[in-house]
Amino acid sequence: MKIIAGNWKINGSVAELDSMISVLNEIDTENNLIICVPFTMLNCKKSDRISIGAQDVSTHEHGAYTGEVSAKMIAESGAKYVIVGHSERRQYHNETNDIVNQKALRVLESGLMPIVCVGETLDQKNAGQTFSVIENQVTESTNGLENYILAYEPVWAIGTGLTATTQEIADVHEYIRKLTSANLLYGGSVKGANSGEIMSILNVDGVLVGGASLKPDDFLPIIKSV
Ligand code: 13P
């Protein structure tokens, strides 16, 4: 059984989510299917076979924080998962490991499962810092977390069509496995053509998919490639 999670970012619509869920409801799979949608779509059509997740959460539980959404509110919507620390949040919203850790703790306290993202930038990779960056992100972002999923998403592979090589994924996942027993996902330009190979790598328990999770024609081949 693999975990196959889609991250819709600011894409899709309620109608597209409904039709994706209808399609996924019909397929025969043992895999754990998750779609992480914008907040406005959390309260969508329910399915026993597909779990819904959010893409971010507030560090606060309640109060005067205009525009924020708490973990408890996400739980109330029926969602089960929350992505925290995606590189786009780290990069564009200055989220530090400490902020990511606080978010993940709120998620867990609300009975939801955090999907904690880590990944090195191209500059860090070229400077030979991949393992030290990842170790730092993993240990600080997951501090005190009893249960979580960890997604390794090299920043240079997100939305670029560049995927880490099988050897690179194997090496980083082996390294992370020594730090945590959490389920480990790989993300970064995953598509039907490479997902089977990626999910057969040791210590890869599933994938986190951006662009190729938006349309059933692209997402189904990934699910079927396990
Ligand atoms: P792409 O699959 O579009 O590269 O995005 C990956 C990602 O950011 C998933 O969280």
Domain extents in the chain: 3-224
Confidence bin at 21 (pLDDT 50/70/90): very high
CA 62 to centroid of ligand 1, rounded, Å = 30
Give the lowest-confidence range in 93-107, 156-170, 200-214.
156-170
Residue 48: per-residue pLDDT:
83
Residue 46: per-residue pLDDT:
75
The Cα 51–Cα 191 span in angstroms is: 20
Nearest alpha carbon, ligand 1 atom 9: 210
| pLDDT of 162 above 90 | no
> CB neighbours of 92 closer than 8 A, spacing ≥ 6?
none
Phi, psi (deg, nearest 5) at residue 209: -115, 130
Mean pLDDT for 175-182 is 98
Confidence bin at 132 (pLDDT 50/70/90): very high
| pLDDT of 45 above 80 | no
Mean pLDDT score of the chain, rounded to an integer?
Answer: 96
For domain 3-224, the question of CATH label 3.10.20.30 is answered with no
CA 22 to centroid of ligand 1, rounded, Å = 23
Q: Is 153 a catalytic residue?
A: yes
What stretch of H or E contains 184?
A: strand 183-187
CA 20 to centroid of ligand 1, rounded, Å = 18
Of ligand 1's listed atoms, the one at least distance from the Cα of 159 is 4
Q: Is 93 a catalytic residue?
A: no
Mean pLDDT for 45-53 is 87
Residue 163: per-residue pLDDT:
85
This prediction has a pTM of 0.97
Residues with CB under 6 A from ligand 1: 7, 86, 153, 158-159, 187-190, 208-212
Residue 2: per-residue pLDDT:
98
Residue 145: per-residue pLDDT:
98
| pLDDT of 64 above 90 | yes
Indicate the DSSP class of residue 155: G
R_g (Cα) of the chain, nearest Å: 16
> CB neighbours of 59 closer than 8 A, spacing ≥ 6?
99, 102, 103, 106
Q: Which of 86, 88, 120, 173 is catalytic?
A: 86
Residue 161: per-residue pLDDT:
85
**Coil, helix or strand at residue 183:** strand
Q: Tell which residue, 114, 39, 32, 129, has the closest CA to residue 80.
A: 114
